[in-house]
Amino acid sequence: MKIILHIWRQRNCKDKGKMTRYEVPNVNQEMSFLEMLDVLNEDLILKNEEPVAFDHDCREGICGTCGCMVNGMAHGPLPGTTLCQLHMRHFKEGDELYLEPWRAAAFPVVKDLVVDRSAFDRIIAAGGYISVATGSAPDGNAVLVPKENAECSMDAAACIGCGACVAMCPNASAALFTGAKIAHLGLLPQGQPERDQRAIAMVAQARQELFGSCTNIGECEAVCPKEIKLEVIARMNGDFIRASLTGR
Amino acid sequence: MSAIAINPVYRVVRFYEAPIGKKAIMALTGVVLFGYVVAHLVGNLQIYGDPQQINKYAALLHNPATSGLLWGARIALLLAVVMHIVASIQLWKLKNDARPVAYVKKDDAAATYASRTMMWSGPIVAAFVIFHVLHLTVGAVVPLQEIAPNEPNVRANVIAGFSNPAISAFYILAIALLCIHLYHGLWSMFQSLGFSHPRYTPKLKKGAAIFAILIAIGNCSIPVAVMVGLVK
């Protein structure tokens, strides 16, 4: 089938950038979205044009490296899926697709569809850790974890840090990402010692990175490839407010 | 946290500097304003009672002996409105700074109409509130009738006001927007203050919708009743 692509082309972070139209005539429906871009790029290279830069690594939906906006939806139209796991069978002959990089002040465009997501790393560095005693391995099950907490924590820990939540949010807020990290650690006994400090530090860092504020719209939850729930944002809000009020 | 004491002023600044702090303020002031909307509606619905009922209620509120209470409530409400608006403008500015380059094409995945239009419904409702106070409290739009000093003839003023179709239309539009604003605000305040539960949050959303619609019906019934001649 034939797919028409409008892709954001931007040479570097200083370039102004613009949308460029491409036609991919021989798209196989078994291809993944990224394979379709690979085919386009091979064609561009043969024509001596600059291939489209896009981020990718594992191509099995677990690393969080890939992703771009497809017709205004982060990771494309299929819910609970990263771009690499989206297959061309979900599109039809002659579809026109607009591909744009994640848009946020905190995610500057590096080139074409590639953005710099180090702001997420700095949020993690601000408090996304626990302190453990090094040395010999602790006994298994020495610290008991309630089953429900383990499940909820694991759900939050599924976050792969792809940035789709920020990209889709009308406020470019990193609330779902930050909330997932705070919930993931804060639900476990090992995360308790730094729980208050973590909420305050990570929220402050997200603000400093110029991510927007959450207005409880739910766009992030709808496009999250790991289907992380808005509940983690409420938990972050609760932890932050409690830490602010009760800190000594 | 360590036992190192943090300056209380710095603590407040740090709380408010965070978007979550501002949202908490918006939620708390929202509760105050919602409480006022309910109380105001309960007061207004007395127009359907005995013809003297609503004027008696107005006289009770305007009783000079308790004017301190009236002014206390007015100042508290004004403070809540100002804090709600200031926080919303700051968050709106942050939102614009957070995405300086817009998408060429953007779709909505889950956003409700109410959630996307809070920054439209809010200012229009605020503009209406200013008009409404000038109209029925200050008397700057049309002269107000009084039975005696501190005893406004609310019934006559309401009927005179709503007999004007333009005033009624603006009123109904503002109430419709208030209803939309309240729907998102009422469930969203729980989320902002840290409460979300898979069992209760869907019920909260439904409850917010029902509350918002009931408030809209109650308020809109008054200009409609005046225009069709049910309240004379």
What CATH number is associated with residue B135?
1.20.1300
Domain span including residue B223: 8-227
Q: What is the ipTM of this complex?
A: 0.90
CB contact under 8 A, B194 and A247: no
Of all residues in chain A, the one with the smallest CA distance to B198 is A231
CA dihedral (A44, A45, A50, A51) positive or negative: positive
User: Buried b / exposed e across A116-131, counting CB within 10 Å, b at 16+?
Assistant: ebebbeebeebbbebe
CB contact under 8 A, A217 and B112: yes
In a domain, B142, yes or no: yes
pLDDT of residue A216: 95
> Which of B5, B115, B190 is nearest residue A215 as measured by Cβ atoms?
B115
- Render pLDDT for A176-196 as a digit per residue (tens, 0 to 9): 999 999 999 999 999 999 999
Share above pLDDT 90 across residues of chain B, in percent, rounded to a whole number: 81
Give B109's contacts in chain A (Cβ within 8 Å): 73, 168, 219, 222-223
B102 φ, ψ (degrees, to nearest 5): -80, 160
User: Buried b / exposed e across B67-94, counting CB within 10 Å, b at 16+?
Assistant: eeeeeeeeeebeebbebbeebbebbbeb
Give the span between the Cα atoms of A218 and B109, in whole angstroms: 8
CB contact under 8 A, A6 and B95: no
> Which of B15, B108, B116 is nearest residue A244 as measured by Cβ atoms?
B15
Give A19's contacts in chain B (Cβ within 8 Å): 104
CB contact under 8 A, A236 and B20: yes
- Overall number of domains in chain B: 1
| Residue B217, C-beta contacts closer than 8 angstroms, at least 6 positions apart | none
Which domains are assigned to chain A?
3-110 (3.10.20.30), 117-246 (1.10.1060.10)
| Residue A142, C-beta contacts closer than 8 angstroms, at least 6 positions apart | none
Pairing state of beta strands A96-100 and A3-9? parallel
> Which of A6, A171, A207 is nearest residue B18 as measured by Cβ atoms?
A207
H-helix or E-strand spanning residue A20? strand A18-24
Please name which of A24, A75, A77 lies closest in space to residue A54, comparing C-alpha atoms.
Answer: A75
pLDDT of residue A144: 93
- Render pLDDT for B22-78 as a digit per residue (tens, 0 to 9): 999 999 999 999 999 999 999 999 999 998 999 999 999 998 899 999 999 999 999
Confidence band of B1 (pLDDT split at 50, 70, 90): very low
pLDDT of residue B209: 97
In a domain, B2, yes or no: no
Q: Report the phi/psi class of residue A31: left, alpha or beta, with left for phi > 0 and alpha for psi in -120 to 50.
A: beta
Give the span between the Cα atoms of B130 and A209, in whole angstroms: 37
| Residue of B1, B4, B12, B20 to mutate, testing the A interface (most A Cβ within 10 Å of its Cβ) | B20
Give the span between the Cα atoms of A157 and A179, in whole angstroms: 10
User: How many A×B Cβ pairs under 8 Å?
Assistant: 152
pLDDT of residue B4: 59
CB contact under 8 A, B191 and A8: no
CB contact under 8 A, B98 and A200: no
pLDDT of residue B5: 65
CB contact under 8 A, B98 and A196: no
Strand order in the sheet with A3-9: A18-24, A3-9, A96-100, A69-70, A73-74
In a domain, B3, yes or no: no
Beta-bridge partners for A87: A32
Q: How far, CA to CA in Å, does B128 sit from each of A169, B116, B155, B172? A: 30, 20, 20, 10
Burial label for B10, CB within 10 Å (0-12, 13-18, 19+), is exposed
pLDDT of residue A167: 98
In a domain, B139, yes or no: yes
Of all residues in chain A, the one with the smallest CA distance to B4 is A248
Give B107's contacts in chain A (Cβ within 8 Å): 71-73
> Do residues A111 and A17 lie in contact, with contact meaning Cβ atoms separated by under 8 Å?
no
Please name which of A200, A65, A68, A192 lies closest in space to residue A123, comparing C-alpha atoms.
Answer: A200
| Residue A50, C-beta contacts closer than 8 angstroms, at least 6 positions apart | A9, A11, A44
In a domain, B1, yes or no: no
Per-residue pLDDT of chain A (248 residues; tens, 9 = 90+): 999 999 999 999 999 999 999 999 999 999 999 999 999 999 999 999 999 999 999 999 999 999 999 999 999 999 999 999 999 999 999 999 999 999 999 999 999 999 999 999 999 999 999 998 888 888 888 899 999 999 999 999 999 999 999 999 999 999 999 999 999 999 999 999 999 999 999 999 999 999 999 999 999 999 999 999 999 999 999 999 999 998 87
Report DSSP letters for A41-67, one per residue. Answer: HHHHHHTT-PPPP---SSSSSSS----
User: Which DSSP category does A96 fall into?
Assistant: E
